[in-house]
Amino acid sequence: MKTKTHISVKKLSVWYGKDQALDDISVDIPDKKITVIIGPSGCGKTTLLKSFNRLIDIHDGVKVSGQVFVDGEDIYSPDVEVTHLRRRMGLLSQRPQVLPLSIYSNVAYGPRLHGIKDRKRLDEIVEHYLKEASLWREVKDRLNSPASRLSIGQQQRLCLARGLAVEPEIILGDEPTSALDPISAERIEQRFGEIKDRYTIVLVTHILRQAKRLADHVIFLYMGKLVEQGSAKEFFNNPRSQMTKNYLEGRFIDSDGALSLPE
Amino acid sequence: MNRWRHTEERIFKVMMILSASLVAGTLISILVTIILKGFPALSLAMLTETPKGGYYLGKGGGILNAILGSLALGAGAVALAISVSLPLVFYLNVYLGKNSKFAMVIRFSLDILWGVPSIVYGAFGFALMVFFGSRASLLAGIVSVGLLIIPIMARGMDEVLKMIPHELKEASYAMGATKWETAIKVVFRQALPGILTAVLVAFGRGIGDAAAVLFTAGFTDSLPYSLFKPVATLSLAIFFQLGTPFPEVQARGYAAALVLTAIVLLISVVSRLLTGRFSRHTIK
Amino acid sequence: MDIRELKDTVASSVMWVFSVFVLSLVFFMVGGLFFKAKPIFAIQNIGQLIFTSVWHPSGGKFGMGGFILGSFWVTAIAMIIAIPLSLLTAIYISEYAHRKVRRLAKSGIDLLAGISPVIYGVWGVIVIVPFVRDQLMPFFSRKMPFFPFASDNYTGFSALAGGIVLAVMSFPVMIMIEMEVIASVPLEMREASLALGATKWQTIKCVVLQKAWPGIIAAVILGLSRAFGETMAVLMVAGCALGVFTRSVFDPAYPLPALIANTYGEMMSIPLYDSAILLAALALLIVTICFTAAGRGLLYCVENRSM
């Protein structure tokens, strides 16, 4: 049975000025599954993630070659409306970035941007997605207070609600739990597990255990190059590349003392 | 709805470009005006002679009195300001800790002094003069302008010293150096280009000011020869001479304006070069 | 070892003295001016000094109301012009301009900041006053002959000319602070907004400006303080006519700092004249101290709130 591909990356290379962040990456992100991008710090995971919603565009001097197909459409072709593209994806950053607005306005920000003005409709949306992020009960009495007053775990859940409120198809998470305490982290992971049948989820993490817990599909990057990708079961139990084996065992330099590079 | 989003952005973009152009345009307009008016009035005689024809509104001669007077006043004021600002800023950044309340209070006072209008410094200088029973003189001008530029210079130096990473100082202490030695041998060298720039900028503001010297330095036709006699300044020369109806006198005023602006431009260029050139020695 | 530590202690003591000197300078200035200004209270009380506008020093009348009004006019005009222009320019330079343009702009602003006030005055006389006299005044007196435009002053030396010059002089301070606070809004916050599908402008409007708001107010306060205290440039273009009750932007205005500067020659000849002038200087000092404290205090709070 062939799994449907939601995002298909073909020979993607990204440069920030003279530094190459990604080198000839070709991967497929399956539909309605959790895909985890892993690798050591600085290997390009975040760049790959942010290339999906073209957030890398905002950096000065960025150069992109290759193609990224979302539902068959190359999102880097010149006639693509970037704001529409981004609306189809929700982003969760490493450190929760609440907007300098009230809790209500944070969640309503996206829908308002896209034209929904009716107050009742917005109320419904805000309540619905705060419940989705399991935050509603804690904040329902203070929707108009500033979002900055929430605890970090609550803020991250607010960001999740906010991201879901634009009704994306894809959720992108850039190490979404690494700034949180264990309990909040667990709640977020739980939510991901519960909503994955409705959204395609791509997560970046450097925590192997988290990857093992959540992943259906894994992509392993090292120094901007793709080392291996595959289903979680194959990846963790039967890795093909020696480098993957080293990484999973916590070793990086192989027995010759040299770094093992992919073929 | 979508169309409105784009139109709104376009309208604001146009307004922003207009605003920026307007601001840029005023700068250009100022420079062009001064050059156009001042250039015809410039001549070797203008720069090397003192005014002739009586009581500083005479119709002959040049502006040498004002040029030398401004330089003397500026140099004196800068010397005064350096002797206060430099120790002060080093104290703030090397001796006092990062969270020192005393440092906060001092910086706040410097901020307040920075905002005091120059005419108030002039009035205060005048009050001091009356208190000491002295008359308008180069010294009084130096004191007024010196006080005026202390906050400007100190702020400039402080900005530079604040940027010096704490680790650099720690490395020095770790080798057993005292704070004084760290200040002189490590911090100073690292911050030197920035300090020089701050001094230059303060100098520029100092000689450009008229309100602080109006009451205190007086005005004269002669070259500066004594601390206790009045001195001519470029800024006051411009002010007085442009107020007369005589074109020859006004010509001197325009020439003075051009010289003053040229000095400011020179300072700008030199300070930019300084931060570029000296950075060879500094650690990034 | 001992000598090194001795040097250290001596140095820090000397520096401490300088610090205290700087701290006390503010108090010295307030105190000194007050001391010289005190005599005037013998013949007029504070209410008369502020609220009446009869200025007749040889007759012992020192009503400064007219000058305070003049200051108000030019400063208000300056702010009305400077606030939108500086903000739009700051946003453009920080957010939209190309990197090289940004560097050029910063140099230009530094240059504007360094130009002498007298030069601004000269420029005002040569460029702005004729502009007001020949273009603006005829247009407004024909099309809009009512407050605040109706006037019978056709010289061009007016509150408007003063306000325009002051606005230009306030640009550097305001633009620099506004650019700083706008740049301090974290990249991740902008990314969060963009990731939801907002355009760059929407991000600026709804997120960046929201976060930078207090800093922008601080910039305005500090610009206001600058405009209020500026002397020479405004003196040269605002008209400084005694006895005129400024009722229009085209009327001449006589701001308080200009009064102080203008009476230099006559100060000592009339009794209590110097007291009155130094009182004006004191008032100027106190007002600018309050503005500066408010503006800097606000900036300090903003810096500390955002970790």
Query: Taking residues A9-32, what's their average pLDDT?
Result: 89
Is there a contact between C206 and A93 if contact means CB atoms under 8 Å apart? no
pLDDT reported for residue B76: 94
- The confidence score (pLDDT) of residue B19 equals 94
Bridge partners of residue A9, in order along the sequence:
A27, A68
Low-confidence residues in chain B, pLDDT < 50: 55, 284
Cβ partners under 8 Å of residue A182, min gap 6: none
* B45: CB partners within 8 A, 6+ apart: B61, B62
Residue C5 domain-assigned (yes or no): no
Please report whether residue C170 resides in a domain.
yes
Where helices occur in chain A by DSSP H, the ranges are 45-52, 82-87, 103-113, 119-132, 136-139, 152-165, 182-195, 208-214, 232-237, 242-248
pLDDT score, position B40: 86
Whether the Cβ atoms of residue C82 and residue C169 lie closer than 8 Å to each other: no
At position C285, the amino acid (one-letter code) is L
Q: What percent of chain C has pLDDT over 90?
A: 38
User: How high is the pLDDT of residue B57?
Assistant: 56
Judged against a pLDDT cut of 70, whether residue A255 lies above it is answered with no
- Which residues 72-131 of C are in CB contact (within 8 Å) with B? 84-86, 88-89, 91-93, 96-97, 105, 107-108, 110-112, 114-123, 125-127
pLDDT at residue number A254: 46
Please report whether residue C66 resides in a domain.
Answer: yes
Neighbour tally for C240: CB within 10 Å? 21
Q: How confident is the model at residue C222 (pLDDT cuts 50, 70, 90)?
A: very high
Chain A residue with CA closest to C188: the answer is: A97
Provide the residue type at A60 as one letter.
D
Distance between CA atoms of residues C220 and C218, nearest Å: 5
Residue C233 falls within a domain, yes or no? yes
Contact at CB, B112 and C19, closer than 8 angstroms: no
When comparing pLDDT for B157 and A1, which is higher? Answer: B157
Average pLDDT, chain A: 86
Residue C203 lies in a domain: yes
Pair A202, A92: CB distance under 8 Å = no
Contacts of C13 in chain B (CB under 8 A): none
Residue type, A222: Y
Determine contact: A86 vs chain C, CB below 8 A.
yes
Average pLDDT over residues C43-54: 76
Chains that touch C (3 or more CB pairs under 8 A): A, B
CA distance A231 to chain C (A): 28
Any C CB within 8 A of B205 CB: yes
The per-residue pLDDT for A256 is 45
- Enclosing H/E stretch for C221: helix C209-229
Is residue C135 in a domain?
Answer: yes
Is the bond preceding A168 in cis, omega lying within 30 degrees of 0? no
Task: Using alpha carbons, select from B156, B106, B104 the residue that is nearest to residue C303.
Answer: B104
pLDDT of A13 over the 80 cut: yes
> Hey, what domains does chain A have and what are their CATH numbers?
1-88+170-263 (3.40.50.300), 98-167 (no CATH)
> Between chains, do C207 and A93 touch, taking CB under 8 Å as contact?
no
What is the distance between the terminal CA atoms of chain A, rounded to a whole angstrom? 29
Helices assigned H by DSSP within A70-118: 82-87, 103-113
- Within an 8 Å CB–CB cutoff, is residue B39 touching chain C? no
Counted domains in chain C: 1
Q: What confidence tens digit (pLDDT) does each residue in A56-71 have? A: 888 878 899 999 998 8
pLDDT of B189 reads 80
CATH of the domain at C133: 1.10.3720.10
Model confidence at C216: pLDDT above 90: yes
Mean pLDDT of the C40-62 span: 76
Asked if C27 and C246 touch (Cβ cutoff 8 Å), the reply is: no
Instruction: Give this prediction's pTM.
Output: 0.87
Burial class (CB in 10 A: 0-12, 13-18, 19+), C183: middle
User: How far does the CA of residue B44 sit from the closest CA of chain C (Å)?
Assistant: 22
Bridge partner residues of A62 (DSSP): A16
Neighbours of B, requiring at least 3 CB pairs below 8 Å, are C
The nearest CA of chain B is from the CA of C150 a distance in Å of 27
Q: For residue C1, is it within any domain?
A: no
Give A84-139 pLDDT, tens digit per residue: 888 888 898 888 889 988 999 999 998 988 888 889 999 999 999 998 888 888 88
Q: How far apart are CA B28 and CA A31, in angstroms?
A: 59
A55 touches chain C (CB under 8 A): yes
**What pLDDT does A1 receive?**
44
Query: How do A225-231 and B51-52 pair as beta strands?
Result: unpaired
Count interface pairs A-C at CB distance under 8 A: 64
What is the per-residue pLDDT for A257? Answer: 42
For C270-292, write each residue's pLDDT tens digit: 777 888 888 888 889 999 999 99
pLDDT band at C197 (very low <50, low <70, confident <90, very high): confident
Range of the domain at C107: 43-305
Note whether A109 contacts C193, CB cutoff 8 Å. Answer: yes
Model pLDDT for residues A164-211, shown as the tens digit of each residue: 998 898 999 999 888 888 888 888 888 888 888 889 999 998 888 888
Domains of chain B and any CATH numbers: 44-280 (1.10.3720.10)
Instruction: List, in sequence order, every beta strand (DSSP E) within C67-127.
Output: none
Tokens found for residue C253: 């205005």
3-state secondary structure of A38: strand
* CB-nearest partner of C116 from B88, B214, B260: B260
Q: d(Cα B279, Cα A18) in Å, to the nearest integer?
A: 23
Instruction: Take residue B250 and report the two structure tokens written for it.
Output: 């006004």
Pairing of strands A170-174, A89-92: parallel
Q: Which chain A residues touch C191 with a CB distance below 8 Å?
A: 55, 58, 91, 93, 97
The C-alpha of A208 sits at a distance from chain C's nearest C-alpha, in angstroms, of 25
> Is the residue at C25 inside a domain?
no
Q: One-letter amino acid identity for C227? A: A
pLDDT at A156 over 70: yes
Decide the pairing of beta strands A73-74 and B51-52: unpaired
Determine how many CB atoms are found less than 10 A away from the CB of residue C151. 21
Q: Cα separation of B263 and B21, whole Å?
A: 25
Read off the tokens for C132. 């007001």
pLDDT (0 to 100) of residue C44: 74
